[in-house]
Amino acid sequence: MERPGEARMIDLRSDTVTRPSRGMREAIASAEVGDDVFGEDPTINALQEKVAGLLGKEAALFVASGTMANTVAVKTHVGHGGEVIAEEGCHIFNYESGSSASISGIQFRNIPTGMGHFTAVDVAARLRPKEMHAPQTKLIAMENTHNRAGGTVFPLEEMKKIGELARRNGIPVHLDGARLWNASIATGVDMAEFGKTVHSVSVCLSKGLGAPVGSLVAGSKEYIDRARVVRKMLGGGMRQAGILAAAGLYAIEHQWERLAEDHANARLLAEGLRRIPGMEVDLDRVQTNIVIVDVREHPLGEKGITERMAEQGVLFLAIGPGRLRLVTHIDVSRPGIEEALERMEKALS
């Protein structure tokens, strides 16, 4: 709790730091539940049906986290062994503790892009020949929006081309759509249009949507039936988890469209940070709710800046040499962004 004279904390480390709203807590408390391993939790079933419909898929599966969603998706597609083509900064490769490598026995063939999205030409150049000395291409993975690239949107038209290339070569495509909600709001493109380009999609409820926990994997009914077995194998079979699914349903119904506010706040933040000497922001990358800042020219460097601003009550992350990441979300309003900028300008100029 804030004390008299004490500056309130403004937390821009991630959109995962959000807390359930009063309405979401009420939805959790009143959720109807059953045993989900037996397929008998009505709230989970309702959430799975809703998300599958939004993504244009036959079925969906509720899981504990985004990492579990992607791990289940990869394992269901590839079984064990082979190679996955992905962007070099993607979440599956960088931020999931090597789960796909250790659990599915795959290796990655990464495409460097800078902007977080590659082309069908890039993929075609990396498809392995079908011969005994080469690892076989088992999956193509895309991320939309792309976290490490700064919340950039993977263009729909390029996703279509990659999907067509993959189908011609008999290779499945998975979309890590943890923040696909943001991509849809930013572009005005229905989630199902993105979903049509791939065989499976994962989406997260606990980032911009503000739910406390949960992700889903969506695909064909046959694919999700197999994914359910993999989820069980990983210890992801939950029982009366409708209390969690209720938060997800509430988030979709009440907190999805407001993501546009986060995007506007990210633009305000990015433009303000550019006024501080030694802090550079590529505004072309500020497409949704993530702002990447280049501080290589700032005398304090990324570590010094994060430490000084933590003392001033503004939290964000250093994500590499000379790079900071700030993420806008439902728990920081426009006045909060303005206050964060004011503190940063005073402390860092």
pLDDT digits (tens, 9 = 90+) for 197-232: 999 999 999 999 999 999 999 999 999 999 999 999
pLDDT grade, residue 192 (50/70/90)? Answer: very high
Residue carrying structure tokens 């426009």: 334
pLDDT tens-digit profile of 33-57? 999 999 999 999 999 999 999 999 9
The pTM of this model reads: 0.94
Strands, sheet with 215-219, edge to edge from the N-terminal-most edge strand: 59-63, 215-219, 200-204, 173-176, 137-143, 83-87, 107-111
Specify whether 247 is located in the same domain as 276: no
pLDDT tens-digit profile of 225-255? 999 999 999 999 999 999 999 999 999 999 9
In a domain, 25, yes or no: no
Predicted local confidence at residue 4, as pLDDT: 39
How far from 75 is each of 130, 195, 271, CA to CA, in Å? 21, 19, 42
Number of domains, the chain: 2
pLDDT tens-digit profile of 144-183? 999 999 999 999 999 999 999 999 999 999 999 999 999 9
Specify whether 332 is located in the same domain as 269: yes
How far is 60 from 82, CA to CA, in rounded Å? 25
In a domain, 24, yes or no: no
pLDDT tens-digit profile of 56-74? 999 999 999 999 999 999 9
Burial of 339 (0-12, 13-18, 19+ CB in 10 A): middle
Residue 276 maps to which CATH number?
3.90.1150.10
In a domain, 14, yes or no: yes
Percent of the chain clearing pLDDT 70 (strictly above): 98
Specify whether 318 is located in the same domain as 237: no
Chosen domain end from 254, 271, 294: 254
Predicted local confidence at residue 7, as pLDDT: 61
Give the domain extent around 307.
10-18+258-348
Which residues, 6 or more positions from 265, have their beta carbon under 8 angstroms from its beta carbon?
A: 289, 328, 332, 333, 334, 337
Specify whether 230 is located in the same domain as 168: yes
Pairing outcome for strands 83-87 and 323-327: unpaired
Query: At 177, is the secondary structure helix, strand, or coil?
Result: coil
Residue 127 maps to which CATH number?
3.40.640.10
Chosen domain end from 254, 288, 307: 254
**Nearest Cα to Cα of residue 55 among 193, 153, 175, 223:** 193
Residue carrying structure tokens 């943001």: 182
Predicted local confidence at residue 349, as pLDDT: 84
How far is 199 from 150, CA to CA, in rounded Å? 25
In a domain, 215, yes or no: yes
Contact 207, 179 (CB under 8 A): yes
Predicted local confidence at residue 13, as pLDDT: 98
pLDDT tens-digit profile of 241-293? 999 999 999 999 999 999 999 999 999 999 999 999 999 999 999 999 999 99
2 or 94, which is more confident? 94
Predicted confidence (pLDDT) at residue 139 exceeds the cutoff of 60: yes
Q: What is the mean pLDDT of residues 328-334?
A: 97
Contact 72, 230 (CB under 8 A): yes
Phi (first) and psi of residue 300, to 5 degrees: -80, -25
Specify whether 329 is located in the same domain as 209: no
The answer to whether the bond into 71 is cis (omega within 30° of 0) is no
